[in-house]
Amino acid sequence: MKTFPIPTKEQVSPANQAIFDNLTKAVGRVPNLYAAFANSETGLANYLTFSSGKSSLRAKEREAVNLIVSQVNECLYCLSAHTAIAKLQGFTDEQIIEIRRGGASFDDKLDALVKFVKSATENKGHADAQTLENFYAAGYNEGNLVDVVNAIGDKMITNYLYALSDVPVDWPAIPQI
């Protein structure tokens, strides 16, 4: 596979340089996958606008979506990043592993979400009817469904970019499951 460039601040456009500065202020560095987006004049800004949009999902729900989608897509980069972020959201190591395995027995509503997202991701949007019914029975509504689809799409973007670029993972190592 061709080596995919990870540009430095000096190698990107002025607009991307400003985003690099903001990322450095917010997270202390520019993660490699975000830097890879900056190979495009507009890719990084477009992705960050989409991924930071408002949602009816709570932060922990979004992290659960990020973890299960990345697990289904076998994205080591996103699993590593979102394991670290999930810990900041209050998930334990055991809970993170359980979510990656496709459930969340420690929280009934989250369990319905994770099982639904796993089914939807594995089946390219055609979730098992029972997991969809359970999603609604857990208290989610049609607006939440739209926001879940957006969250899945967000993660698919980064999962695919990693799969196609194989950028070096610059997050702490995670356990294999």
Domains of the chain: 9-51 (no CATH), 59-165 (1.20.1290.10)
What sign for the dihedral angle of Cα 41, 84, 75, 136?
Answer: negative
The pLDDT mean for the chain works out to 97
Contact criterion met (CB below 8 Å) for 172 and 84? yes
Contact criterion met (CB below 8 Å) for 22 and 53? no
pLDDT of residue 3: 82
Name the amino acid, one letter, at 69.
V
- Give tens-digit pLDDT for 22-71: 999 999 999 999 999 999 999 999 999 999 999 999 999 999 999 999 99
pLDDT of residue 174: 95
Which segments in the chain show pLDDT lower than 50?
A: none
Rounded to whole angstroms, how far apart are CA atoms 108 and 8? 44
* Concatenated DSSP letters of 70-135: HHHTT-HHHHHHHHHHHHHTT--HHHHHHHHHT--TT-HHHHHHHHHHHHHHHTTT---HHHHHHH
Rounded to whole angstroms, how far apart are CA atoms 163 and 157? 10
pLDDT of residue 129: 97
pLDDT of residue 25: 97
